[in-house]
Amino acid sequence: MTETADTAADTQATTRPTNLADEAALDDFISEHEIALVEFYTEGCSICASMEPIVGNVARQLDIGVALVNPRDDPPLVDRFEVRSVPLFVLFVDGDPVARYAEGFVPGDDLTAWIDAQVDTTTDH
């Protein structure tokens, strides 16, 4: 019974985005994942809130690290990633930001296709 609970907890952890508190947590997260998608959001942004289950599905479907960070909680993130609107998605490959997507609500299939295209472009050197 404990094994099932542990397995369920592990599955849940990989299907939900990780909430990051600050720049240091973001840096740790992207260094731990070969491919990572980070959504920059703000509290009260309804589009951002509606994207959370979608990015969770993307994490499960593509088996990549997915995280959420509120740049208002750590203002240097606004300048570092030039956050001008939310949600902003930044895709990291091997710790480097390789692409940005800031088009408001993004359907899951579109987000997955965008990530696939970016990863294919980045790894086809």
For the chain, list the domains and their CATH numbers: 2-123 (3.40.30.10)
From the number of C-beta atoms within 10 Å of its C-beta (0-12, 13-18, 19+), residue 66 rates as buried
Q: Residue 5: in which H helix or E strand, if any?
A: helix 2-15
Question: Residue type for 25, please?
Answer: A
User: Does 87 sit behind a cis peptide bond, omega within 30 degrees of 0 on the bond before it?
Assistant: yes
Tens digit of pLDDT at every position of the chain (125 positions): 444 444 444 444 456 899 999 999 999 999 999 999 999 999 999 999 999 999 999 989 998 999 999 999 999 999 999 999 999 999 999 999 999 999 999 999 999 999 999 998 766 54
Helix orientation angle between 46-62 and 108-123, rounded to the nearest 10 degrees: 50
Distance CA 38, CA 125 (A): 24
Contact 73, 61 (CB under 8 A): no
